[in-house]
Amino acid sequence: MFLFDNHIHLQPSGRCVDAINDFEKFGGTHIMLCHTPYYEFTGAAPGDYESDYSLTLQIAEKVRKETNVNVFVCIGPYPGDITFLMKSMTLAQAKEKMMKGMELAAKLVREGKATALGEIGRPHYPVEPEVWEASNDILRYGFKLAKDANCAAVVHSESATWQTFSELAKMADDTGLPRWRVVKHYCPPVVDEKENHGIFPSVLAGRDNIKSMLKTSTRFLLETDYMDWLQRPDAVMAPQTVPRNMKRLLAAGAITEEQIFKINQENPEKVYGIEIR
């Protein structure tokens, strides 16, 4: 049985491989390691994407060497970077730097060093209208690059509403990126394609969420959004949550092996163009 966490972060100053040991101990087999800014931990300058991406790839390789877990990587300029960059440069300069970071991420995907662009998007907190517009331009550019690289885009944004789904779907259509290759991270349990406009939901792996979604569809991915911050242990969810809850629900008869296969193998294989083996 393959069990896949679609969105997990690891920090060089956090538990790192030890967290994945927990995931593996509970039966977890595959993760999507999602890039996160490291400047708050390393002291590097915001927007130093070459160094930041290199660190994410190094962490991925460390996990591969020290565990039996298969690691895929999504990489890209974190949407909140724009706020940090504007402390030392203009909005136009920050936008250009993030677009260059997007280009570098797409290059790493084309080279086979990463699987997807992510998490990219727009700030989840209030910003000035011009910053919002610039963030949408950066995201739209990311969608275009994802289409050209034949990969998925993992989106970080405000809480997803009908309007959010609609806007993301339009961006995808405008750039030629298939809607099902737009993965909405930290998504509410909205799996009906009429409601989410064909965007692919990645939902926190709580048992109530899973039970609710199974009433409608198996068209979703599961994530913990584990942050690996020592000051916030097990935030957002503990790294073992996906395999633990899959097995508990199976034992309780609340999910079938066929549904587990669909969610943990077939869905990520389709969305990311990968092999879960």
CATH code 3.20.20.140 for 4-272: yes
Tens place of pLDDT per residue across the chain (277 aa):
999 999 999 999 999 999 999 999 999 999 999 999 987 776 677 889 999 999 999 999 999 999 999 999 999 999 999 999 999 999 999 999 999 999 999 999 999 999 999 999 999 999 999 999 999 999 999 999 999 999 999 999 999 999 999 999 999 999 999 999 999 999 999 999 999 999 999 999 999 999 999 999 999 999 999 999 999 999 999 999 999 999 999 999 999 999 999 999 999 999 999 999 9
DSSP string, 96-126: HHHHHHHHHHHHHHHTTS-SEEEEEE--SS-
How far is residue 277's CA from residue 275's CA, in Å, rounded to a whole number? 6
Which residue carries 């896949």 as its tokens?
4
Question: How far apart (Å, rounded) are the C-alpha atoms in residues 33 and 41?
Answer: 18
140 burial level (CB within 10 Å; 0-12, 13-18, 19+)? middle
pLDDT at residue 46 in the model: 81
| Alpha helices by DSSP H, the chain | 17-25, 39-42, 49-66, 81-85, 91-110, 129-149, 162-175, 193-196, 207-214, 241-251, 257-261, 267-272
* Those residues with Cβ within 8 angstroms of residue 205's Cβ, 6 or more apart along the chain or in another chain: 5, 222, 223, 224, 237, 241, 242, 245
Predicted model pTM: 0.97
Q: What was the pLDDT predicted at 44?
A: 73
Main-chain phi, psi angles of 15, to 5 degrees: -75, -30
Which residue is it, tokens 């609609």?
A: 166
For CA atoms 10, 14, 20, 22, the dihedral sign is negative
Domain ranges of the chain: 4-272
Question: Using CB atoms within 10 A of its CB, is residue 238 exposed (0-12), middle (13-18) or buried (19+)?
Answer: middle
